[in-house]
Every structure is written in C-alpha cells, then in structure tokens.
Amino acid sequence: MTQADKLTPSIGITLDRFIKQKQDEFPFATGELSQLLRDIALAGKIIHWEVNRAGLANITGSYGNYNVQGEEQQKLDVVANVRFIRALRNGGEVCGIISEEEDSFIDTGNHQGKYVVAIDPLDGSSNIDVNVSIGTIFSIYRRVSPVGSPPIIEDFLQPGNRQVAAGYIVYGSSTMLVYTTGKGVNGFTYEQSIGEFILSHPSIKVPQEGKIYSCNEGNLLDFSAGVQHFIEQCREQRLSARYIGSLVADFHRNLLKGGIFLYPSTQKAPNGKLRLLFECNPMAFLMEQAGGMATDGKRRILDIEPKEIHQRTPFFVGPQNLMERLNQCFQQEEVNA
C-alpha cells in the first residue's frame, strides 16, 4: 500500500452501487425494483435528518390524534408517514401503499407500477422522547392485479413468502439500512458526510447459539404455559434478558448478536399485538434469510394468509437453537393440555 493509499482509504461499496451489481439476480425486473429500493433509502435519509433535529424542531411528543390501531400518534409518526408516501409516490414504481398509520390502502396513481409496499414508517415512536433507537420497516410485493389498472386489496393481502424484498432502517447511534431480496441479508451504515449508505455488514448471518431473549416480562403471568416454561429455561441457562420495546432495535440487536424475540398473545391481546403485514412478515423474511426462524407459535409466519390489512399475530423470531427450544415448550404444553 502506497502512502497515498494510506491517506485515502476506500469508503467501501455504496448502496446504489450494490443494488446495481445485484440487479441481474432478478430476471423479471428491469430496474424498477432497484429504483424502488433507492426511493426507500432516500426517504430514510430524510427521516434520519428529521429524527436528529426532532428536539430542536418541536416535532417530538404527541400529535393529538390516534391511528387506525387506536394508538396515540407521535408527531414524528405523521412526519415519517408523509415522507415515505411522498417518496414512493414520486418514485413512480409503486401502484399502491399500505401504511400502519393509514386506515386503508393508498392508490398512488402510478398504475403502470409493478409493485406494492407495506410500510411501518416509524416503529417504536413512543421512544422518541427518551432518545431510544427507533426505525422504519418495509416490505415489497409484486402486484397481483393487471399492470395499468388501479391497485386492489388483493395486491396487499399476500402471504409473506411472496415478498420480493423487505428490510428496515434503524435510527440510533448510527443509521443503518438492512434489507434482503431473498439472496441473503446485507446492512448499510449511513455516512452523513457524503450522504450515502455504505456496505458495512455484508452477508449477515444470525449467530446460531443465541444467548439473548427479548420480551416484556411484565406480562409474564398473561403468557401461555409454553412461553412461561421457555422463559424459565432461559433464566436457568443464564441467558441475557434484553428488551427495548422498539421492535426494530430489539430485532437488530438479536440479528447481529444472536437472540430470540417473543411477543406472545395475552389475555388483553389474544391475537397478539404486532401487525403481520407491517412488522412480522418483513422481519420473518430477514431472519430466515439470515439462517433463523419465525413463527406464530404454530405456523411459519411467512405461510400465514392475511385476511385484512391490519391483522395482528403472535410473533416469535430468532436463531434456530432458541426457536427449536421454544417449539419444544409449545409441544409439551399441548401434551399437558
């Protein structure tokens, strides 16, 4: 290495270049999917800026409204929702959008678009005021309705095994975009000085000997016997308990360090709390591509046929060793029932 090389180290592969290099893996696509991923990355850069200036711009705290889930909207929820919808509509590749913040699907007017997107614009937004990591979750499907026609509800009610891409952006000590197109999982860190996402975590694989479990143990007494037994095993084996309460942050840590995330059904939420289309399907796709598993306690998440846009489900996701132990606990619960 020359002295000049030492003074000017390579910045690595940018997201744009990486997407172009991988485009040939999709013979059915002619650049639209690549452009769509760039549109999402662009919106992520804008939200990164909004999140970092939130405390100075008076956009923290409650907005005063409630979304379709009955959850109080935060100001940044509204900002992120608008930013992503604009980016996807203006990009021209998407004919329809569903958002966790919207009651029904959005017709973008781009009826020649081949794709639809499900998006949670700002997951974990209740943590904004206390400066805890939050994120965006996205999922991309090929439409089932004819190209050139308006989108229909069936374009969105597809099982997760039909996703063509999915990922998340985590806004924390650094901003990272992690995504899959069914050919492995790659992570990109935002380099603010040049305004680019740079490949920092190529070919992510979840550590198979997971040492972390993540759940809200305050609800322990409301969990099923199988889940309670599994948590008891985790304690006996001295696994580390780590729970942030922001799905993107919890999932991101567990993906990199090896851990299981549990959001079971409870008496208060018998169908679970997390949304199948906006949260569980994309995270399940990522985890499977990284070598892990995701179920609702009985079924593979990606095989569930959705019946409605805002459908909820119990959610268990992690490396195979912990997921297999959890499944054994569920099986024992059925024997004892």
**Could you tell me which residues are annotated as the binding site for Mg(2+)?**
100, 120, 122-123, 279
d(CA 274, CA 265): 10
Q: What are the phi and psi torsion angles at 304 (to 5°)?
A: -75, 130
| 86, 50 contact by CB (below 8 A) | no
Question: Which residues neighbour 130 within 8 Å (Cβ) at sequence distance 6 or greater?
Answer: none
Binding site members for substrate: 123-126, 216, 243, 273
Question: Do the beta carbons of residue 318 and residue 287 sit within 8 Å?
Answer: yes
Q: What are residue 184's phi and psi, to 5 degrees?
A: 95, 175
Cα 217 to Cα 262: distance, rounded to the nearest angstrom: 10
Which residues have C-beta within 8 Å of that of residue 301, sequence separation ≥ 6? 160, 276, 280, 281, 284, 294, 295, 313, 315, 317
Neighbouring C-beta atoms of residue 201, cutoff 10 Å: 14
With CA atoms as reference, report the closest residue to 264 among 216, 301, 232: 216
Burial of 129 (0-12, 13-18, 19+ CB in 10 A): middle
CA nearest neighbour of 204 among 266, 276, 88, 287: 287
Other residues' Cβ atoms within 10 Å of the Cβ of residue 333: 17
Residue whose C-alpha is closest to residue 180's, from 205, 155, 156, 158: 205
Residue 245's CB: how many other CB atoms inside 10 A? 12
Pairing status of strand 115-123 against strand 94-99: parallel
Q: Report phi then psi at 126, rounded to 5.
A: -65, -15
Enumerate the known binding-site residues.
Answer: 100, 120, 122-126, 216, 243, 273, 279
